Amino acid sequence: MAINTNNNTYTIVYATIVVVIVAFLLSFVSKVLEPQSLANERIDKKKQILASLNIRELSKDSVESYYNKVIVCDEIVNSSGEVIKDGSLKDKDGFAVSMKEINKDNLPVYVCQVGEGDQGTKYVFPLSGKGLWGAIWGYIALDSDLNTVYGTYFSHQSETAGLGALITEKAFQGQFQGKKIHKDGSQSIDLSVVKNGQVKDVNVQCDGITGATLTSNGVSEMLASSMGKYKEFLTKGNK
């Protein structure tokens, strides 16, 4: 008996079978590639953290070994500045916290050693905010005084090429080095980005990107909101 391929029932059955097969194949491929995808995400995150410590241009194969060498531990602190989990090289509690999971009682802190003694101790904090068109994020590394910026790393989802996207460039990120989180005697987050050419306090202000005011403002607001969550931790550290 010949099958009537012009019949509506045939069309529906055929389409259903094709959809099921394609869905199965996509699910299978996704499952097979999942370990590699997760590994790439892990390496990329570690690479970003190292970039905030001014350790860049690493090959993909060397990122994890370098990370394990530099990152002493990753802690989780709460809004009171108390360490609630203390990670180690074998158990990275803080690293497991994604940007979306960060809240007042789930704040990762990466303790790093990039040199000898106290001067070589650095602390890295995650940053997340909003630019002109989408999410922006990054990491900021502080010296052992928990006030002086050692380095920064910023990235974005969809900022304008040649304008807001310039937050990823060393020229923009580099100007944060040596700046202070707090003004003398202040406990607020004073580090900020101002309109290009209008820096009045060189200790806590950085030049924004010309033509990208909203993205520059987004970086400034990201610093204030993200580091504001660590206010108590920073204050206790300074004391």
Res 44: pLDDT: 94
Res 89: pLDDT: 44
* 3-12, 25-34, 107-116, 171-180: range with lowest mean pLDDT: 3-12
Per residue in 158-173, pLDDT (tens digit) is 999 999 999 999 999 9
Res 229: pLDDT: 95
Tell me the two tokens of residue 40. 């790439």
Inform me whether the pLDDT recorded for 185 exceeds 60: yes
Inform me whether the pLDDT recorded for 136 exceeds 50: yes
Per residue in 3-23, pLDDT (tens digit) is 656 667 777 888 888 888 888
Tell the burial category of 46 from Cβ atoms under 10 Å away from its Cβ (0-12, 13-18, 19+).
buried
**CA pair distance 238, 231, nearest whole angstrom:** 11
- pTM for the full predicted model: 0.83
**pLDDT tier at 123 (50, 70, 90 boundaries)?**
very high
